[in-house]
Structure 1
Amino acid sequence: MQQQTNSIIDELEDAVRNGSSAKRIETLRRVTDLFLDQGQRLSDDQVEVFDHVLSHLVTRVESRVRAELGDRLAPLDYAPAGVLERLAWDDEIAVAGKVLTESNRLSTPTLVEIAKAKGQDHLFAISGRADLPEVVTDVLVERGERKVIRRLADNTTARFSEGGYGGMIAHAEADEALAESLGLRIDLPLKYLRDLLQRATEAVRARLATIAPPELQAEIKRILAAITSKAAPPEPKRDFSLAEAAVKRMKGLNELNDAAIARFAETKRFDEVAAALGLLNNSAPTELMAKVLEGPRADLVLIPCKSAGLGWPTVEKVLCNRPAKYRIDEATLKLAGTDFAKLSPATAERTLRFWQLHDRIDK
């Protein structure tokens, strides 16, 4: 075994230094076969040598070969951790997907960093992992779009923080399928189950009362009975009149500019920020702007800000000070800056018109 391992390592090093593309692929497959057949008997030192050389080799083969390697190594609990991490960071989801979903060789900090930096396909792959810890699901709830959040809700082994549950409930407000999935989770704390059922449509309530597991049915029916018999009075309509009057005066004096909005954000005067964004966006409803500013997704804030013609330094102040459950982290803020630069005013304006026309914000 030792002799075979040394021979393969020598071949690997030669393939990295001198081999053709075909030679590298052939060697890579032979090494993978060795791990599948005998990897459990390799010493830690031998695995570390393989890891080092493989990590160099995978950077020199095409994506379909990297994807094949990831698919074969992902299920192995003795596979080289370094090369699996490199594959997990790959921009090609065909390469990273199975590793992100299945490999137990990825550390929690690595998953967190990938979830903060990569796009929705990578987040979707992570959301299907078994036993996801709260620190990972927090990032997925903050950054994930609908398909990610739905898969996360269906992942019965995923664990959520208080903020994570709250974010999931917020996403479910306009998504009946998500509301059903959350309502069927036996780990959903009662206060969030009550909140979910309070917001849910009658159709969702009826289905949950029928299809929920026995340990949940009684509680769901009890909550629904309480909602029916003692409906909570509607919350009073939020009054933005003072903020709207203030920003109108400022616009009349040509003082409603980036500097003014940045000051509003820094002093936590978000009624004024919302009113200013509404006024600068052809009198869009202030209530709609407030909903965007106070919602769970930082990326949606970019849309009215771009449409209003604000500069990135002002938008950065808004994102860093907005009244949200999560403080924006450095990686998400950096990604927001990149996205803001890419977003065109025309696209932002069309999206804003869609929100107003359909009276909803995409989750």
Structure 2
Amino acid sequence: MAPSFSLFPELESVVQHGSDERRHDALRRITALFLHAAERFNEDHLRLFDDVFVMLIREIESKARAELSRQLAPVPNSPGKIIRRLAKDEDIMVAGPVLAQSPRLVTADLVEIAGAMGPEHLYAISSRAAIDEPVTDVLVRRGDFTVKRKLAGNAGARISESSFAALVRSAEHDGVLAETVALRNDVPEHMFRELLARATEVVQRRLLAKARPETQAEIRRVLARVSGQAFAVRPPRDFSEAHVRVRMLAEEGKLGEAELAEFARSRSYDQTVVALSYLSDVPADVVDRLLSGERPDPILILCKAANYSWSTAREILLARTSERGKGAPSLDTAAANFDRLSSATAKRVVRFWQLTPVEPAPEAAGT
């Protein structure tokens, strides 16, 4: 049944000559008329209501606009023009409800608004029940820490890999964000590992306490891999000769990055291990385990923590692969990872290695 539009003819007079009270009364009456049968209106009806709402809000105070926004926001077929007008209102009390709830705002609308408005508007968008990647990309790029936290905690937000990478970088200085991102089910595995490596010990403990049992197992596995505990136990290597030479250099004050790089460049694996042990204060057997693993990450961490150059890390990588008789890893990839790794993160991991006890070889355990 078509609604009665008997009150519409008086609108122009109300808008142009009416008092604030009359405008508010007209808006309340038209809003009530729309909400009474919104689900039954066709597109022609919606266009008519759209024009009326837009006409009225031109001369109406923000309090009344905010009330209209709250009423129209959850309605699936609210008039699109007025919804977009309200969403772009500079007053967050007006824009907030439709930004957070209205299904009439499409991805293009949200991208446009997120790219132009301030933090409060971005926060409202980040609380929507479902958010597509183009929108979350803008929210991550432009949002402050409150926006990023809200977005990361929103299970209905689809986050691209590039935005996950940006969140992981931000999380290094924001423990709450680190926890929120780590507990998402869709975080890529390699970024999950990076996030845990960057996280403080306090955050790591919180994650273990909050996570589901299967997630706890994954967190422990990743932390073990990052810390070097996951490397296989090998019979202890005899570094006695290397210790003699390296100790002499250290006592003469001639042991530093240049000497370490030269040991690695000459492919003197034992002396490289012992020199790195002296310089990093990590036990030689632990350094040997770290260097003999499958991944280059421990070398990058040791060198970054000591503020060594990429060229030194590169020589150690090549010395390691020469010793193991395997091909070198992708140096371009390793260099990129080295550049991204922060010194603070590397130093936290190295502090763990400095306290790591050396496990006995199986044949020595029973003696």
| Contact 2:161–2:188 (8 Å) recurs in 1 | no
Q: CA deviation at 1:12?
A: 3.4
In 2, Cα distance between equivalents of 1:164 and 1:41: 41
| Contact 1:11–1:27 (8 Å) recurs in 2 | no
1:187 matched to 2:171? The reply is no
- If you compute each CA radius of gyration, which structure gives the higher value, 1 or 2? 2
In 2, Cα distance between equivalents of 1:14 and 1:187: 56
Give 5+ residue unaligned stretches, structure 1: 241-286, 292-363
* Structure 1 partner of 2:131: 132
Q: Give CA deviations for 1:13-60 in whole Å, capped at 9, x if unaligned.
A: 443344332211111111111122111112210111110121121121
| Contact 1:71–1:98 (8 Å) recurs in 2 | yes
* Structure 2 partner of 1:206: 205
Which amino acid in 2 is paired with 1:186?
N
Structure 1 residues 238, 118: CA separation in 2 closer, same or farther (over 3 Å shift)? farther
SS in 1 for 2:158: coil
* Structure 1 partner of 2:2: 2
SS in 1 for 2:110: helix
Structure 1 residues 132, 3: CA separation in 2 closer, same or farther (over 3 Å shift)? closer
Q: CA deviation at 1:84?
A: 0.9
Q: CA deviation at 1:173?
A: 0.8
In 2, Cα distance between equivalents of 1:95 and 1:151: 20
Q: Give CA deviations for 1:115-154 in whole Å, capped at 9, x if unaligned.
A: 1111111111111111111000000110111111111111
Structure 1 residues 198, 12: CA separation in 2 closer, same or farther (over 3 Å shift)? same
| Contact 1:13–1:53 (8 Å) recurs in 2 | no
* Structure 2 partner of 1:38: 37
Question: Matches of residues 120-269 of structure 1 in structure 2 within 5 Å?
Answer: 120-228=119-227, 229=229, 230=290, 232-233=298-299, 234=301, 235-236=303-304, 237=307
Which amino acid in 2 is paired with 1:138?
D
In 1, Cα distance between equivalents of 2:214 and 2:133: 24
Which amino acid in 1 is paired with 2:128?
R
Q: CA deviation at 1:232?
A: 2.0
SS in 1 for 2:157: coil
Q: TM-score, normalised by structure 1?
A: 0.63
SS in 2 for 1:54: helix
Instruction: Please tell me the root mean square deviation across aligned C-alpha atoms, in Å.
Output: 2.1
Query: After TM superposition, what 4+ stretches of structure 1 lie above 4 angstroms from structure 2?
Result: none
In 2, Cα distance between equivalents of 1:100 and 1:238: 49
Aligned residues: 241
Structure 1 residues 220, 239: CA separation in 2 closer, same or farther (over 3 Å shift)? closer
Which amino acid in 1 is paired with 2:2?
Q
Identity of aligned residues (%): 45
| Contact 2:100–2:124 (8 Å) recurs in 1 | yes
Give 5+ residue unaligned stretches, structure 2: 230-289, 291-296, 311-338, 343-367
Which amino acid in 1 is paired with 2:298?
A
Q: CA deviation at 1:156?
A: 1.2
1:22 matched to 2:21? The reply is yes
In 1, Cα distance between equivalents of 2:153 and 2:3: 48
Question: Matches of residues 42-53 of structure 1 in structure 2 within 5 Å?
Answer: 42-53=41-52
* Structure 2 partner of 1:118: 117
Question: Matches of residues 65-84 of structure 1 in structure 2 within 5 Å?
Answer: 65-84=64-83
SS in 2 for 1:35: helix
| Contact 1:9–1:50 (8 Å) recurs in 2 | no
Q: CA deviation at 1:175?
A: 0.4
| Contact 1:123–1:144 (8 Å) recurs in 2 | yes
In 2, Cα distance between equivalents of 1:194 and 1:111: 32
Which amino acid in 2 is paired with 1:169?
V
Which amino acid in 2 is paired with 1:224?
L
1:64 matched to 2:63? The reply is yes
In 2, Cα distance between equivalents of 1:29 and 1:187: 44
Structure 1 residues 8, 78: CA separation in 2 closer, same or farther (over 3 Å shift)? farther
Q: CA deviation at 1:11?
A: 3.8
Q: CA deviation at 1:72?
A: 0.8
Which amino acid in 2 is paired with 1:2?
A
Q: Give CA deviations for 1:78-108 in whole Å, capped at 9, x if unaligned.
A: 2111101100000000111111101111111
* Structure 2 partner of 1:97: 96
Q: CA deviation at 1:8?
A: 3.5
